[in-house]
A and B are shown apart, each in its own frame.
Chain A
Amino acid sequence: MSERDDILARVREALTVPAPMPGHDHDTGPRALVLPSMADQRRVLPAVGQSFDEQAALFRRKAVELHADFRLVKDVAAMAAELKAICAAEKWQRAASHAGELTGAACRALGLPILLTDQAFDKRELARCDVGISDCDALVAQTGSVVVTSRSAGGRALSVLPPHHVVVARREQLLPDLPAAFAFLRSKYGADYPSMISFITGPSRTGDIERILVLGAHGPKKLTILCV
């Protein structure tokens, strides 16, 4: 018998004896357990406002808390101008990005040599870039998170290897909460998920030395979110 069959047989054998339900110590009777619905989750998770303005304000508060830089800009031209200002202030020499409507506009505005990571690339060259500019799948107001995937945000390394990660997003991409984010991922990719989906919440951090917060442990030291 293979290990797989062996382990599964032991699991089935073990489960012939029922266990009490949580919070019902002596009740092992056959009671249908219904997994929590989206409405159930929303009833217990931290509250989020209904309107776009409330959600954008919440995202901004979360970004401040997380040491991320969130800017709501009025159009693509304004986004390009913000980006050029950051580029000049930080003296970027090399940038990395991937093909996309917003990333395209961002890269043209910079006028720097751009390493594209949605085609074959050298990871050492990406490590030498000052900034990685990527699209995202969604922004989550409840937690201040950015959702990226290997398919829509230039692969796995772009959003984590360069020291500064710039996310370009559209207002429509702002979702209220985590249940909405998972529902969105299901509707967008349900038939064929990308190999990596990541919720990025602020720049990389650690508290492993005396529980003191240090940004840029291994991933980016800075996270900028430009929302058009």
Chain B
Amino acid sequence: MTEPAVQFKHDARRLSADLRHRQIILTAMGNYEVARDQRKGAFQDWQSARQMAAETKWDAINHLDRHLEQLVRNLEARGTKVHWAATDQQARDIILGILRAKKARIIVKSKAMTSEEIHLNEAMEQAGYEVVESDLGEFIVQLREEPPYHIVFPAMHLTRDDIKDVFQRKLGDAPSNNPEELTMVARRVLREKYLQADVGITGANFAIAETGMLSITENEGNARLTAALSRTMITLLGIEKVLPRLEDLALFLPMLAAMGTGQAITCYNTLYGGPRQPGESDGPGEYHVVLLDNHRTALLADAEQRDSLHCIRCGACLNACPIFRNVGGHTYGTTYCGPIGAVITPNLRGLNEWRHLSYASSLCGACTETCPVKINLHHHLLQNRRNASRRRPSWWQRIAFQVFAPVANKPALWALVTRMGRLGQKAHSLVKGGRLDPAYAWTKTRDLPPVAKQSFKEWWRARR
């Protein structure tokens, strides 16, 4: 087994038996589900909205070259500097280069999964910069020195007491475990950082090709403040974020909010089209946009799974997934967790090293059913299994199927084996679930239904 697979199994076993963890996640998910269903219900036709969103994203991704050129042309026309990064290393170098050129000291960041993907914070901190995450959830996990637990709710796995503890330890300021008072501590600390920040870094939810704008969705106002008060602003985004037209947001903003957080629309949805323009009184003097490939073009080349680039990172598939709800976000060991993470990580980071994620699924299809842009998630998990075993076939699976196929193809042999199975199962019950059981890995947590006393064929013959 590969190292990530060993870690996954170990953490999954621990967390799926952790009742405290389960309680926290189920409470949070329960509240989310009620709000989400209410918002979906407010749409006049949610299923048609999904189809429209899927088709719009299909157009965006299947004409990506054209849309990217248009986006960049429009951004550059209004004074934005656009950078292209083929790899995570290049993206880090570009951003560190800007920080050096601006002689920056303090960097304020608003939530960006792409920055987690390229491990930007570590790189900036190693280079000696003070980096502050401004989204409350991200700020909390940054203080705890751990990665975000969920792509939308980074601190979902923590209770108010956990958060009070880390504030006390790291900030020396935690009046109580009251969520409002804790939020106000973060507000005070971060407010000063916004005012001091030399450079602000954000992610983006959508990039509008037609008008050359980056759209940022948030609730707290931290991205707004980052984009208003920093002297230089940098937006890092994957090349797949494009939407063709400005008005596409009329559909995507409410859909993202409904599925992401169960809101009709989030508190701030803001479009940035450049640095401070002539006649404007504030805003950064310089605006840099970094477009990240980092294996997205490889995923694009797989026509079968190309639709996984339609993802708008709402997190709905995580919330719906029975595996995610039991093993939690950190167990995946990846930037993007849950079903979408299990689909794209093997394609972005190595099919064989991450093939175990394709099995972290019951194939129930809840992810595919909930996805607002109709990504065929659970079929992609099956395709990843197929692709991985094509590339490196498993010897025991091959032997198993070499035995199974001739048995299943010969009725007489099949009848013999089922009859033996009835006897075998009686004998098996003596060792089942114990260390002497040859199928221990499977049977210790599962029951095998008894083989029927009579096969259908036998029953039919007896009836006549």
CB within 8 Å for A38 and B247 given contacts A23-B374, A33-B55, A161-B228: yes
User: What chain B residues lie within 8 Å of A144 (beta carbons)?
Assistant: 264
CB within 8 Å for A208 and B269 given contacts A121-B281, A121-B282: no
- Contact partner of A14 among B137, B159, B297, CB < 8 A? B297
B213 at the interface (CB under 8 A from A): yes
Bound-state CA distance A15–B279 (Å) is 42
Contact B269 A161 (CB under 8 A): no
In the assembled complex, the CB of B408 is this many whole angstroms from the nearest CB of chain A, namely 28
Q: Which of B59-67, B114-122, B328-336, B444-452 contacts A (4 or more CB under 8 A)?
A: B59-67
User: What chain B residues lie within 8 Å of A4 (beta carbons)?
Assistant: 72, 84
Bound-state CA distance A141–B320 (Å) is 31
Bound-state CA distance A173–B140 (Å) is 40
B270 at the interface (CB under 8 A from A): yes
User: What chain A residues lie within 8 Å of B229 (beta carbons)?
Assistant: 123, 157, 161
Q: Which of A43-51, A69-77, A87-95, A104-112 contacts B (4 or more CB under 8 A)?
A: A43-51
Contact A179 B250 (CB under 8 A): yes
Closest to B140 in A: A208
CB within 8 Å for A44 and B213 given contacts A119-B281, A195-B277, A212-B179: no
Contact B265 A43 (CB under 8 A): no
- Contact partner of A161 among B158, B225, B268, CB < 8 A? B225
User: What chain B residues lie within 8 Å of A12 (beta carbons)?
Assistant: 65
Contact A219 B253 (CB under 8 A): no
A19 at the interface (CB under 8 A from B): yes
User: What chain A residues lie within 8 Å of B244 (beta carbons)?
Assistant: 35
User: What chain B residues lie within 8 Å of A22 (beta carbons)?
Assistant: 51, 54-55, 57-58, 307, 373-374
- Contact partner of B300 among A14, A25, A41, A150, CB < 8 A? A14
Contact A143 B58 (CB under 8 A): no
- Contact partner of A208 among B154, B279, B301, CB < 8 A? B154
In the assembled complex, the CB of A197 is this many whole angstroms from the nearest CB of chain B, namely 4
A118 at the interface (CB under 8 A from B): yes
Contact A45 B44 (CB under 8 A): yes
B135 at the interface (CB under 8 A from A): yes
Contact A3 B90 (CB under 8 A): yes
| Contact indicator per residue, chain A 143-165, by CB within 8 Å of chain B (1) or not (0) | 11100001100111100110000
| Contact indicator per residue, chain A 116-147, by CB within 8 Å of chain B (1) or not (0) | 01111101100100000000000000011100
B99 at the interface (CB under 8 A from A): no
Bound-state CA distance A216–B211 (Å) is 31
Bound-state CA distance A17–B52 (Å) is 23
Contact B220 A14 (CB under 8 A): no
Bound-state CA distance A217–B186 (Å) is 8
Bound-state CA distance A38–B247 (Å) is 8
Contact A3 B84 (CB under 8 A): yes
Contact A218 B59 (CB under 8 A): no
Contact A196 B283 (CB under 8 A): yes
B6 at the interface (CB under 8 A from A): no
Contact B250 A217 (CB under 8 A): no
Contact A44 B48 (CB under 8 A): yes
Contact A36 B253 (CB under 8 A): no
CB within 8 Å for A210 and B179 given contacts A15-B62, A178-B254: yes
A8 at the interface (CB under 8 A from B): yes
- For chain B, the count of residues having a C-beta within 8 Å of the partner chain is 111
Bound-state CA distance A195–B227 (Å) is 11
In the assembled complex, the CB of A218 is this many whole angstroms from the nearest CB of chain B, namely 4
- Chain A residues 173 to 193 lying within 8 A of chain B, measured CB to CB, are 177-179, 181-183, 185-186, 193
B441 at the interface (CB under 8 A from A): no
Bound-state CA distance A22–B28 (Å) is 32
Bound-state CA distance A225–B347 (Å) is 49
In the assembled complex, the CB of B97 is this many whole angstroms from the nearest CB of chain A, namely 13
User: What chain A residues lie within 8 Å of B194 (beta carbons)?
Assistant: 218
User: What chain A residues lie within 8 Å of B239 (beta carbons)?
Assistant: 7, 11
Most buried by B among A38, A144, A161, A206: A206
Contact A195 B246 (CB under 8 A): no
In the assembled complex, the CB of B144 is this many whole angstroms from the nearest CB of chain A, namely 13
A21 at the interface (CB under 8 A from B): yes
Closest to A18 in B: B303
Closest to B269 in A: A199
Contact B58 A35 (CB under 8 A): no
Bound-state CA distance A60–B229 (Å) is 32
Bound-state CA distance A170–B249 (Å) is 25
User: What chain B residues lie within 8 Å of A17 (beta carbons)?
Assistant: 301, 303
Bound-state CA distance A7–B42 (Å) is 41
Closest to B243 in A: A35
Contact A205 B219 (CB under 8 A): yes
List chain B positions with a Cβ less than 8 A from chain A. Answer: 27-28, 31-32, 42-46, 48-49, 51-52, 54-59, 61-65, 68-69, 72, 78, 84-86, 90, 134-137, 140, 153-156, 158-160, 163, 179-180, 182-184, 186-187, 190-191, 194-195, 211, 213, 219-222, 224-225, 227-229, 239, 244-251, 253-254, 261, 264-277, 279-283, 291, 293, 297-298, 300-301, 303-304, 306-307, 373-374, 376
What would 21 A/B residue contacts be, using CB atoms closer than 8 Å? A8-B69, A11-B64, A14-B301, A22-B373, A38-B247, A44-B49, A45-B49, A154-B281, A155-B280, A178-B253, A181-B250, A195-B78, A195-B276, A201-B266, A206-B136, A208-B140, A214-B180, A217-B219, A217-B220, A217-B222, A219-B220
Question: Other CB < 8 Å A-B pairs besides A4-B84, A11-B68, A22-B55, 19 of them?
Answer: A14-B300, A19-B61, A21-B58, A38-B250, A41-B251, A117-B281, A117-B282, A150-B282, A155-B280, A156-B227, A157-B229, A179-B250, A195-B280, A200-B268, A207-B261, A209-B136, A209-B182, A210-B28, A219-B267
